Copies of this chain bind each other. A is one copy, B any other.
Amino acid sequence: MDKLLLKNQLCFPLYLCSKEIIRKYTPLLNKIDLTYTQYIVMMYLWENKECNVKELGKTLLLDSNTLTPLLKKLESKDYITRNKSSNDSRNTIISITEKGLELKKSALAIPDSMIKCVNLSDEEAQTLYKILYKVLYNIEKEEN
């Protein structure tokens, strides 16, 4: 068996799925002037209200090289503020604004839209969810 055939790869459909689902999000997110990555940042902030770049990056598995420009963009849209911490001025405190909180109302219909689009049974969705987090756990726990 040729292990280098595309059809024998597990990462390839993962890569395609991620890309294509995000593509499906795009028209929905365009309506509220967000990209997919901006959307997951906003989801984090709808839940946490305030954080620094490090904390955010730990959840999204992104570093400041990606987050800083993205956060500046969200700041320019008045969805967040960025301020140096007075306790430790190495930290940049990201806070959600009133406008950012309001935005959640416009996003409420998005999850159902996407669930419908992915069109898996509850059981399949559950199984997928579990396996994906297992993979993440397995990958991240590895020493380098």
Picked from B9, B112, B138, the residue with its CB within 8 Å of the CB of A120 is B138
Check B138 against A43 for contact (C-beta < 8 Å): no
- Beyond contacts A9-B111, A128-B135: 19 other A-B pairs, Cβ-Cβ < 8 A, are A3-B108, A3-B111, A4-B46, A4-B110, A8-B111, A11-B21, A13-B129, A14-B17, A14-B18, A14-B21, A15-B36, A15-B40, A17-B139, A20-B61, A21-B139, A117-B138, A127-B127, A127-B131, A128-B132
CB–CB B18/A18 < 8 A:
yes
Q: Are A120 and B111 in contact (CB under 8 A)?
A: no
Which of B9, B17, B22, B136 lies in contact with A16, CB distance below 8 A? Answer: B136
Assess the B4–A136 pair: CB atoms within 8 A.
no
CB-nearest residue of chain B to A60: B16
Known: A11-B22, A25-B11. A136 touches B17 (CB 8 A): yes
Binding site for B on A (CB under 8 A): 3-6, 8-22, 24-25, 36, 40, 43-44, 46-47, 59-61, 104, 107-108, 110-112, 114-115, 117-120, 124-125, 127-129, 131-136, 138-140, 142
Given contacts A4-B46, A14-B18, A108-B4, contact A118 B132 (CB under 8 A): no
Chain B residues, Cβ within 8 Å of A104: 4
Contacts of A44 in B (CB 8 A): 6
